[in-house]
Structure 1
Amino acid sequence: MLRSIPATLVVCLMPLVLVGCRDNASKADPRTQPPLVRVTKVISATEGSRAFSGVVVARVQSELGFRVSGKILERLVDSGQRVKRGQPLMRLDPVDLRLQAQAEQQSVAAAQARVRQTSADQARYRTLVATGAVSVSAYDQIRAAAATAQAELKAAQAQASVAGNASGYALLLADDDGVVMATLAEPGQVVSAGEAVIRLARAGQREASVQLPETLRPAVGSEAQATLYGAGGTPVSARLRQLADVADPMTRTYEARYVLEGALASAPLGATVTLSLTNKPTQSLLQVPLAAVYDAGKGPGVWDITGQPATVAWRPVSVIAISDEAATVAGQLNAGDRIVALGAHLLKQGERVRPDDAAVAGSQP
């Protein structure tokens, strides 16, 4: 038989049971709580000298080709070779071109024979028409035939001149002093008229070609400091000659051409050059952790933490520069604003969050 529990014992244990229930109720389910986010503060960033890598190029670079079609017989230069104006670069097989020129010369000879014949006929008919032996209409036909023969002779002579020029086009000559950047065809290859076979960098002052972000557009004529990679030495001045108006569709950057001066005026083509630009920003710049910047396909931005209880608001930014751990940005932010430092891709507009305020003091971009 079970012993009955005294009523006094039950009464004593009831408060303990109720306290335990309250403790369990006070522990909220973490799955229903707002996400805990790491917080950092936006700090000011100063824009000083910025360095960009570029390539030494010639101001004018041409792709040369033959003016006639044919089979390449000989390549007379190599990549990197310096050439002079009028120097032979490549040669086509001239046999077909010479035969064509000879054929046109024979056409000229035939046209000349027709001119002589029609001229003689015209002279005879002129005498006959004067005596009434032939009609005027017959004489007009002979005179028209003589005029036609003269026109055909001129056309044949023009065709012969074209064929003669074409035979001379079998030899490709350098049209200016420069350096052969690349040979785009080899002996034995059949090329069409106008097809590029040699890339020639014309002689002259060297330039540095660099790609600048859309947030940096220095004025034409402004100066920068250029240093040749691996050469050391004192930086030399470089002057901006041209800044593209259209961005590269892949990189969204703009090509800038800086004229190199001093010791770099004759720098080797294709060498790497570093350009240092001093930019004076027209807007306040801020620095944030690189992981705080998120782009969901509509442009970069950060999550700003506002209100109480804390919620996140999307703030679009423009990325000015990127380092290993931080990004320099400009946008609808102020120094001291609290933003989400990690996990930006997991949040949505207006979502409640639990800021990890303990991490704010020690978080620096």
Structure 2
Amino acid sequence: MLLPSCRSATGSDPRTDPPLVRTAIVQSTASAQTRSFTGTVAARVQSDLGFRVSGKVLERLVSSGQRVRRGQPLMRLDDADLRLALHAQEEAVVAAAARARQATDDEARDRNLAAEGVEPPAAYDRMRASAEAARAQLRAVEAQAKVARNATRYALLVADAAGVIVETLAEPGQVVAAGQPVVRLAHDGPREAVVQLPETLRPSLGSSAQAALYGRAGVVVATRLRELSSAADPLTRTFQAKYVLEGPLADAPLGSSRRRVATT
């Protein structure tokens, strides 16, 4: 039984809609029927990217459906407060370095006095402990300055891999939290047909199927089941299945116009 796909009645953007997939499961018995299902073409790896610091979005540099390269800037935060925090930490390093130098000089002087018997050893021990504490404090503020310096770089979000922007989840002026997803990126690489199968159909992993893109119905390729969800969707009571697209469909487009893919 074939379940043909149909276009949405709403005005969706064809550049960002994932290609549609039609899947048909073929049973090996003579009495079994071929069943077709509609799904979507998706990247095997998809990342929800977010900033590592909180802040106000200053600039969005990409749009949905746009292809990006690894390391390409995607969004930028207002880093004014981050730069002020870095300046404060750098000044703290200067002050701590001055205290550490003074404590080191005092330690050297007291060491000589203690060696000459002019100063009791206990006084030198106290000065040595004070110098060690000053040097430790310097290392601590240097580490804090490094964290602040890193934070200024985190104000620029870059792509962690080459791929296609599936969706942007934040706009300029919006305040976002650290780790909040702001860009959804589909990585280049293997493509898969993602379909929802009914409870009555549970194919085994590695089982074969056939697929064809909408608009290229004459191009039918063999696929295999890579993943089958063990839990049903609570609303539809269907199980998500992922079929690996190979051959002519290995580069099935993402974020382009609608396609229909059939797998068997």
Q: TM-score, normalised by structure 1?
A: 0.61
- Is 1:267 the equivalent of 2:233? no
Partner Cα separation in structure 1 for residue 241 and residue 69 of structure 2? 29
Partner Cα separation in structure 1 for residue 143 and residue 153 of structure 2? 16
Partner Cα separation in structure 2 for residue 58 and residue 228 of structure 1? 15
C-alpha contact (below 8 Å) 1:52/1:274 kept by paired residues:
no
- 1:266 is paired with a residue whose SS is coil
* Distance apart, 1:269 and its partner CA: 2.5
Deviations 1:271-322 (A, max 9, x none): 4534344xxxxxxxxxxxxxxxxxxxxxxxxxxxxxxxxxxxxxxxxxxxxx
Match of 1:328 in 2: none
* Distance apart, 1:262 and its partner CA: 2.5
Match of 2:121 in 1: 136
C-alpha contact (below 8 Å) 1:212/1:255 kept by paired residues:
yes
Partner Cα separation in structure 2 for residue 116 and residue 81 of structure 1? 54
Within 5 A, what are the aligned runs for 1:173-188? 173-188=158-173
- Is 1:213 the equivalent of 2:213? no
Match of 1:284 in 2: none
Match of 1:147 in 2: 132
Rate the CA distance shift 1:131–1:160 in 2: closer, same or farther, 3 A: same
AA partner of residue 204 (structure 1) = G
Partner Cα separation in structure 2 for residue 274 and residue 70 of structure 1? 42
Deviations 1:217-244 (A, max 9, x none): 2121111111223432232222111111
Deviations 1:149-189 (A, max 9, x none): 11101111111111111111111111100000000000111
Rate the CA distance shift 1:146–1:166 in 2: closer, same or farther, 3 A: same
C-alpha contact (below 8 Å) 1:118/1:142 kept by paired residues:
yes
AA partner of residue 183 (structure 2) = I
* Distance apart, 1:248 and its partner CA: 1.6
Which residue, 45, 49, 58 being the options, matches 1:73? 58
Partner Cα separation in structure 1 for residue 153 and residue 113 of structure 2? 49
Deviations 1:169-216 (A, max 9, x none): 111111100000000000111111101000000001211101112221
* Distance apart, 1:48 and its partner CA: 1.4
Larger radius of gyration: 1
Point out which structure has higher relative CO (alpha carbons under 8 A, 6+ apart): 2
- 1:228 is paired with a residue whose SS is coil
C-alpha contact (below 8 Å) 1:72/1:187 kept by paired residues:
yes
Moved more, 153-162 or 212-221: 212-221
Partner Cα separation in structure 2 for residue 233 and residue 47 of structure 1? 24
State the 4+ residue runs in structure 1 displaced beyond 6 angstroms: none
- 1:85 is paired with a residue whose SS is coil
- 2:170 is paired with a residue whose SS is coil
Partner Cα separation in structure 2 for residue 134 and residue 229 of structure 1? 91
Which residue, 186, 191, 199 being the options, matches 2:176? 191
Higher strand share: 1
Deviations 1:111-155 (A, max 9, x none): 111111111111111122223322221111111000001110111
Match of 1:241 in 2: 226
Match of 1:125 in 2: 110
The alignment's C-alpha RMSD in Å is 1.6
* Matched residue count: 233
- 2:203 is paired with a residue whose SS is coil
Partner Cα separation in structure 1 for residue 204 and residue 230 of structure 2? 12
Partner Cα separation in structure 1 for residue 241 and residue 191 of structure 2? 13
C-alpha contact (below 8 Å) 1:53/1:274 kept by paired residues:
yes
Within 5 A, what are the aligned runs for 1:24-103? 46-103=31-88
AA partner of residue 275 (structure 1) = A
Identity value in percent: 61
Partner Cα separation in structure 2 for residue 178 and residue 274 of structure 1? 21
Partner Cα separation in structure 1 for residue 263 and residue 81 of structure 2? 56
Partner Cα separation in structure 2 for residue 173 and residue 211 of structure 1? 33
C-alpha contact (below 8 Å) 2:215/2:260 kept by paired residues:
no
Unaligned runs of 5+ in 1: 1-44, 278-365
C-alpha contact (below 8 Å) 1:184/1:196 kept by paired residues:
yes
Partner Cα separation in structure 2 for residue 60 and residue 203 of structure 1? 8
C-alpha contact (below 8 Å) 2:222/2:263 kept by paired residues:
no
